[in-house]
Amino acid sequence: MPLYLAIKEMLRNRVRYAVVILIVALITLLVLFTAALGDGLALTGKEYIENIDAELILFQDDVDVSIPASQLNRARLNNIKRVAGVDDVGPIGFAIASILLEGGETRDKIDVSLIGVEPGKPGAPTVSQGVGLRSPRANEVVLDQNVLDRVDIPIGSVIDLKVVQGAEEEIYSLKVVGYTEGQHYFFLPSVFVPLRTWELIRPRPDFDETGMDIVFNIAAVKLEDPDTWPEMIEFIEYNVNGVELTDPVTTYRATQGFTEMQSIIDTQQRFVVLIVMLVIGSFFQIQTLQKVAQIGMLKIIGASNWIIATTLLVQVMLTTVLGVALGGLTVWAIAVSLPPGIPAVFDGTKVAVAAITLLVSGPVAGLIALRTVLRVEPLTAVGLGA
Amino acid sequence: MANALETKSISKIYRTDATEVRAVDNVSIGVKAGEFVALVGPSGSGKTTMLAMLAGLLRPSRGEALVEDQELSQMKESELTRFRLRHIGFTLQANNLVSYLTAQENVELMLRLNRKFDRRGRKRARELLERLGLGERLNSLPSQLSGGQQQRVAIARALVHDPSIVLADEPTASLDTERSPPPAWIPSVPIKWSRR
């Protein structure tokens, strides 16, 4: 009976309900798309660190796990290598560069994270096509697949890498030897070069206190027993002076702006869910207030509160479900047609959580109207009250 | 024959801080099955209050109201709702119909609420509407019907589930005089049809 009444009313007032369903769909689109953009942005900020083949990340002491602020040298690395329980250590240096694309005088460019690694050591990328970095000094690069999504650069070709050194722009030509996948770092696709090459081409600081030694930012520490990483942090920090260790998750969460960005996106999503509740709650409350006389009449002829309340809840559920489904389908259509370069990641679990949140928020908002329905006094509602 | 409806010294008194209004004062009536009774009186004389108490919508201040020998004031709200649904047909002066249901669906609503909706019920609803002159308006929504037509749909709905008593609050108020039979005929004759 509630289903019959609910559907009849929705069909006979289809334009009104269609508008609300459309609004819920648009809000769903907003929720899911901002979630996907949030995840995408987060991923582009952390992907390389998240996928790194090491249990711990080594920093210079007192830099608050800040990668740009951290400066390490070979001496520290060698000390870490000698600590019992450490399997291997790989130095990693970060910088920003641009790949210059083929063209005329004004060549287009793709900004990339220039990551210097030691071939075969932790931190070096796993190659999906071609070969990995072989020599520590070679002018070779391994390209992140995310670069290839934007421009086709075949293995064996030479790319021009532009870096700013002091006040000058320098261009270095490097040979592409392989591809790797999923290696965004600091919101940019990555280009991996051997550490000595990186040292040569990276933007140089005005003052280098380490003199002749190669200075890099962090090191990836691989342990003999990965499960012991919490204890090993204390153990290594006790045995080697001037270093700080943490796990990869803490590392990418400490990336500049990462937490703030996540917080902004989360807050935005909460507000959007609140808007859904306001839209659905207001719509059904207004609907209910317009129907008070009719509800009173139904109660007079013998319709129970259960029937009337369930009818309302069925309508709220149908409106929310149809709106969320329509919004979900639109998001899916957008997801499959998005051009590369837009950092949107549609994580199934997060999409499901967002959809369930929206589905729950509708009925919760409908509780106000439900209260009104239950409190309708039949005689007063039809104008016969004392 | 036992009374289908009976009141024993029933009263309804509305009290405010300063005043006391006796809307119904010590009324005892008995109505047998098949009887047709009209409460007549000027506006404000307590007719609607009396009907509301007979339908269990208002609890009397004093006295008893019995329908089919069951004392309404002894029942809980949920029991009263169920009782009204099964044993009482009710029409109001206005706001009688569900706006998004057609004339036939409005009549069938009573059968659906009573879980008596089937092919026979559907036929019965249609026949009642046809006899009330609404054969051409079965699929019309209330907004497409005149006040009198809406009233006739409400009368059909009050009868379709074969209740013990039919309570009609000013059932002829909206009826159009030129096309309709005498006012008293409208509720009483369909009751006889529905009993056949």
A188: which DSSP letter?
B
**pLDDT higher than threshold 50 for residue A71:** yes
Question: What ranges do the domains of chain B cover?
Answer: 3-74, 91-195
**The residue type at A301:** I
- Chain B contact set for A384 (CB, 8 A): 48, 52, 92, 169
Residue B45: predicted pLDDT: 86
Q: Taking residues B74-92, what's their average pLDDT?
A: 87
Query: Pick from B52, B113, B114: which is nearest to A384 by CB?
Result: B52
Q: Taking residues A182-202, what's their average pLDDT?
A: 87
CATH number of B91-195: 3.40.50.300
Q: Taking residues A181-207, what's their average pLDDT?
A: 82
A139: which DSSP letter?
S
Query: Pick from B58, B82, B113: which is nearest to A1 by CB?
Result: B113
Q: Per-residue confidence at B180, pLDDT binned at 50, 70, 90?
A: low
Q: Are residues A115 and A226 in the same domain?
A: yes
Asked whether the beta carbons of residue A293 and residue B86 sit closer than 8 angstroms, the reply is no
Residue A207: predicted pLDDT: 43
Neighbours of A366 (CB within 10 A): 26
Q: Does any domain span residue A104?
A: yes
Asked whether the beta carbons of residue A4 and residue B95 sit closer than 8 angstroms, the reply is no
Asked whether the beta carbons of residue B14 and residue A386 sit closer than 8 angstroms, the reply is yes
- CA-to-CA distance for A197 and A132, rounded, in angstroms? 15
- CA-to-CA distance for A28 and A31, rounded, in angstroms? 5
Which range marks the domain in which residue A166 is found?
A: 56-246
From the CA of A294, how many Å to the nearest CA of chain B? 6
Q: Are residues A209 and A329 in the same domain?
A: no
Query: pLDDT tens-digit profile of B1-14?
Result: 678 888 999 998 88
**pLDDT higher than threshold 90 for residue B108:** yes
Residue of B nearest to A297 (CA): B96
Asked whether the beta carbons of residue B95 and residue A296 sit closer than 8 angstroms, the reply is yes
Query: pLDDT tens-digit profile of A225-255?
Result: 988 888 888 888 888 888 889 999 888 888 7
- Chain B contact set for A297 (CB, 8 A): 92, 95-98
Copy the structure tokens of residue A3. Answer: 């289903």
Q: Taking residues B70-83, what's their average pLDDT?
A: 87
Burial classification of residue A96, based on how many CB atoms lie within 10 Å of its CB (0-12 exposed, 13-18 middle, 19 or more buried): middle
Q: In this structure, is the dihedral angle defined by the CA atoms of residues A146, A149, A150 and A154, taken in order, positive or negative?
A: positive
Q: Taking residues A176-181, what's their average pLDDT?
A: 90
Q: Strand A158-165 vs strand A168-180: parallel, antiparallel, or unpaired?
A: antiparallel
Of A86 and A257, more confident: A86
Task: Give the whole-number percent of chain A exceeding pLDDT 90.
Answer: 16
Q: Does any domain span residue A253?
A: no
Residue A103: predicted pLDDT: 67
Copy the structure tokens of residue B91. Answer: 């029409």
Asked whether the beta carbons of residue A303 and residue B169 sit closer than 8 angstroms, the reply is no
Q: Per-residue confidence at A209, pLDDT binned at 50, 70, 90?
A: very low
Residue B133 backbone class (left: φ over 0; alpha: ψ -120 to 50; beta: rest): left
- According to DSSP H, which parts of B132-184 are helical? 147-160
Q: Are residues A223 and A77 in the same domain?
A: yes
Residue B178: predicted pLDDT: 45
**pLDDT higher than threshold 90 for residue A322:** yes
Query: End of a domain among A220, A246, A272?
Result: A246
Asked whether the beta carbons of residue A12 and residue B23 sit closer than 8 angstroms, the reply is no
Residue A284: predicted pLDDT: 83
Most confident residue range from A129-138, A195-204, B76-85, B102-111: B102-111
From the CA of A33, how many Å to the nearest CA of chain B? 37
Query: Pick from B84, B92, B99: which is nearest to A382 by CB?
Result: B92
Q: Are residues A232 and A127 in the same domain?
A: yes
Q: Which ipTM did the prediction report?
A: 0.83
Pairs of CB atoms within 8 A across A/B = 72
Report yes or no: A381 and A293 within 8 Å, Cβ to Cβ.
yes
Q: Are residues A111 and A240 in the same domain?
A: yes
Report yes or no: A255 and A46 within 8 Å, Cβ to Cβ.
yes
Q: Are residues A277 and A332 in the same domain?
A: yes
Report yes or no: B95 and A301 within 8 Å, Cβ to Cβ.
no
Asked whether the beta carbons of residue A302 and residue B96 sit closer than 8 angstroms, the reply is no
Q: Strand B70-71 vs strand B62-67: parallel, antiparallel, or unpaired?
A: antiparallel
Average pLDDT over chain B, rounded to whole? 84
Q: How many domains does the structure of chain A reveal?
A: 2
Residue B112: predicted pLDDT: 92
Residue B176: predicted pLDDT: 61
Residue B126: predicted pLDDT: 92
Q: Strand A168-180 vs strand A127-130: parallel, antiparallel, or unpaired?
A: antiparallel
**pLDDT higher than threshold 50 for residue A287:** yes
Residue A184: predicted pLDDT: 84
CB within 8 Å of B80: residues ≥ 6 apart: B56, B72
Q: Does any domain span residue A208?
A: yes
Query: Pick from B95, B105, B114: which is nearest to A297 by CB?
Result: B95
Residue of A nearest to B96 (CA): A297
Query: pLDDT tens-digit profile of B119-141?
Result: 998 999 999 999 888 888 999 99
Q: Taking residues A96-117, what's their average pLDDT?
A: 82
**CATH superfamily assigned to domain B3-74:** P-loop containing nucleotide triphosphate hydrolases (3.40.50.300)
Query: Pick from B58, B90, B100: which is nearest to A301 by CB?
Result: B90
Q: Do domains B3-74 and B91-195 have the same CATH topology?
A: yes
Residue A131: predicted pLDDT: 87
Residue of B nearest to A308 (CA): B113
Residue A106: predicted pLDDT: 67
**pLDDT higher than threshold 50 for residue A351:** yes
Report yes or no: A10 and A315 within 8 Å, Cβ to Cβ.
yes
Residue A203: predicted pLDDT: 80
Residue A282: predicted pLDDT: 86
Name the nearest CA neighbour of A320 among A359, A365, A348, A376.
A359
Q: In this structure, is the dihedral angle defined by the CA atoms of residues A301, A306, A309 and A312, taken in order, positive or negative?
A: negative
Q: Per-residue confidence at A212, pLDDT binned at 50, 70, 90?
A: low
Judge whether B14 is closer than 8 Å to chain A, CB to CB.
yes
- Chain A contact set for B157 (CB, 8 A): 301
Of B16 and A248, more confident: A248
Residue of A nearest to B56 (CA): A300
Q: Which phi and psi (to 5°) does residue A344 adopt?
A: -115, 125
Q: Does any domain span residue A251?
A: no
